[in-house]
Chains A and B, each alone.
Chain A
Amino acid sequence: AQRVTQPEKLLSVFKGAPVELKCNYSYSGSPELFWYVQYSRQRLQLLLRHISRESIKGFTADLNKGETSFHLKKPFAQEEDSAMYYCALFIQGAQKLVFGQGTRLTINP
């Protein structure tokens, strides 16, 4: 089955601490993975995608095919990082995007 799992519904860390949001996937093909973010009162938007191997707002995510994971990391959390984060998998054959359950990240001052 094609599935994305985000095991943590809620995650709370202090400002300046490292943060890691977990994402695991199940997919028989070559995965195309994304992280989307929804800040308060804003639209859901793309944060980063694994194919670009980029760092956005200090966040990075590495695809680990052996562990079927795509965890999102940031070494030093900032208050403005508080948001809802979704991991997503693009299903090539069906041409559709499947989302995980989401993790609400709260950065405490």
Chain B
Amino acid sequence: DGGITQSPKYLFRKEGQNVTLSCEQNLNHDAMYWYRQDPGQGLRLIYYSQIVNDFQKGDIAEGYSVSREKKESFPLTVTSAQKNPTAFYLCASSILNSRSGANVLTFGAGSRLTVL
């Protein structure tokens, strides 16, 4: 079954703790993305990666970190420096193609993080 798998689906964290969200894809996609979804604010880009061992900050990268050691994996760590970490986190992937119109994202089911 091809697609993107995010885990865990629900996660609770105490203030001051780091937590890592997993994202794995078996679509052989080049690019992977992390978005944060908050009511009324849409999807905001945290980090993205176009190739293994390289990644770029998105619009709200502060308090987060990522790694891309393998093409199929792009874990996101929410650190204690993130001031408002309670949110729904979405991972996505896509083929990178300069041909216009090919840049379609496939999304995971999401991970809901709650900080107690």
Query: Contacts A45-B107, A96-B58; is A86 near B42 (CB within 8 Å)?
Result: yes
Expressed in whole angstroms, the Cα–Cα distance for A99 and B37 within the complex equals 10
A30 nearest in chain B by CB position: B100
Interface of A (DSSP majority class): mixed
**When the two chains form their complex, are residues A101 and B41 in contact, meaning their CB atoms are under 8 A apart?**
yes
A103 nearest in chain B by CB position: B42
Does B76 lie at the interface of the complex (its beta carbon under 8 Å from any beta carbon of A)? no
Chain A residue numbers with a CB within 8 Å of B56 are 94, 96
How many pairs of A and B residues are in contact by the CB < 8 Å rule? 55
Interface size bucket, B side? Answer: 20 to 34
Does B52 lie at the interface of the complex (its beta carbon under 8 Å from any beta carbon of A)? no
Of the candidates A49, A96, A99, A101, the one having the most CB atoms from chain B within 10 angstroms of its own CB is A96
Interface size bucket, A side? Answer: 20 to 34
A90 nearest in chain B by CB position: B103
**When the two chains form their complex, are residues B50 and A46 in contact, meaning their CB atoms are under 8 A apart?**
no
**When the two chains form their complex, are residues B101 and A49 in contact, meaning their CB atoms are under 8 A apart?**
yes
28 A-B residue pairings within 8 Å (CB atoms): A6-B42, A30-B100, A32-B103, A36-B105, A43-B108, A43-B110, A44-B90, A44-B107, A45-B107, A46-B104, A49-B101, A49-B104, A51-B100, A51-B101, A52-B101, A86-B42, A94-B56, A95-B96, A96-B48, A96-B58, A97-B45, A97-B92, A99-B35, A99-B43, A99-B44, A100-B42, A101-B40, A101-B42
Question: A-B pairs with the 3 shortest C-beta distances?
Answer: A51-B101, A101-B42, A99-B43
> Using a CB–CB distance below 8 Å, which chain B residues touch chain A?
31, 33, 35, 40-45, 48, 50, 56, 58, 90, 92, 96, 100-101, 103-105, 107-110
